[in-house]
Amino acid sequence: MIGVFDSGFGGLTILRAFLTKLPQYDYTYLGDNARTPYGNKSQAVIYAYTRQAVEFLFARGCVLVILACNTASAKALRRIQQEFLPAAYPDRRVLGVVIPLAEAGIKVSRYGRIGVIGTRATIESGVYEQELAKLSPDVKVFGQACPLLVPLVEEGWVGKPEANMILKKYLYRIKRKKIDTLILGCTHYPFLQKDIERIMGKNCRVLNGPDTVSDKLIDYLERHPEIQRRLTCKRNAAFFTTDDPDRFELLGQKFLRYNIPQVNRALL
């Protein structure tokens, strides 16, 4: 089974791509909606919450967990991979979304001027700058924190004049840097992709994060058959939230774009 974790609803955009491109596997999704957003929390708190989520998904039978949360990937993934897994679960794997997006950004960038938008924690961590520089030392990276976008998406304000006004204010700051590629460093942002593309203009490539991450997962499983062989393939999907299951079901269906049969409460 593959586990997908996010601090809220945004990771459902990643899960939707998995269900489209890798429908044969079983999935368990966990949203820590009771403690979202992660973007304004300390690194210690983000690590503690993320580790709890990973342990929950492992207990449900997940062999591989995807942190479909840029903040968790930026602030907790490395420590989980280097300290937690070797000590507690050496036969299981946890992957993030930052490296796949960084690799895709380098691949499509024409002039090496890449922008990144995300939560304050993701941008301040500098994780994208670090990963992009590893891949291409000459790349120029410009980050922009957009703390208001996640609540706007979760409140269903996408496309409203107020949301577009805030989006323009954020994007104009980074558009002035003459970037040729933009990485959406938050799994909520694909819901704003059309508006982002319109504002950024045709000279800037806006990466499709869910497609990128799902393609990289396909590649990872091909390179790691020892993990692939342990995944169950009954085409089942289970959903958990740390908050109200009814609210998760209602809003989650908008992110997933199909009916969620049942949502269960998770105690972390």
Domain that holds residue 150: 98-209
Final residue in a domain of this structure, among 209, 231, 246 = 209
For residues 142 and 237, state if they share a domain.
no
Number of structural domains (the chain) is 2
**Co-location of 125 and 193 in the same domain:** yes
- Which one of the listed residues 69, 146, 204, 233 is annotated catalytic? 69
Count of positions (residues) in the chain: 268
Strand 2-6 relative to strand 237-241, pairing: unpaired
Residue 45 CA, chain-centre distance (Å), reads 18
| Same domain flag for 19 and 151 | no
Q: Are 203 and 231 contained in the same domain?
A: no
Active site residue 204: no
Tell me which DSSP letter residue 82 carries. I
Report the alpha-carbon angle 101-183-204, nearest 5. 130
Q: Is 186 a catalytic residue?
A: yes
Q: Are residues 152 and 60 in the same domain?
A: no
Q: 56-89: buried (b, 16+ CB within 10 Å) or exposed (e) per residue?
A: bbbeeebbbbbbbbbbbbbbbbeebeeebbeeeb
Query: What is the reported pTM?
Result: 0.91
* Catalytic residue, candidates 62, 146, 186, 204: 186
CATH of the domain at 48: 3.40.50.1860
pLDDT by residue for the chain (268 residues), tens digit each?
999 999 988 899 999 999 999 999 999 999 999 998 887 889 999 999 999 999 999 999 999 999 999 889 988 999 999 999 999 999 999 999 999 999 999 999 999 999 999 988 889 989 999 999 999 999 999 999 999 998 888 888 888 998 999 999 999 999 999 999 999 999 889 989 999 999 999 999 999 899 999 999 999 999 999 999 999 999 999 999 999 999 999 888 888 888 898 999 999 9
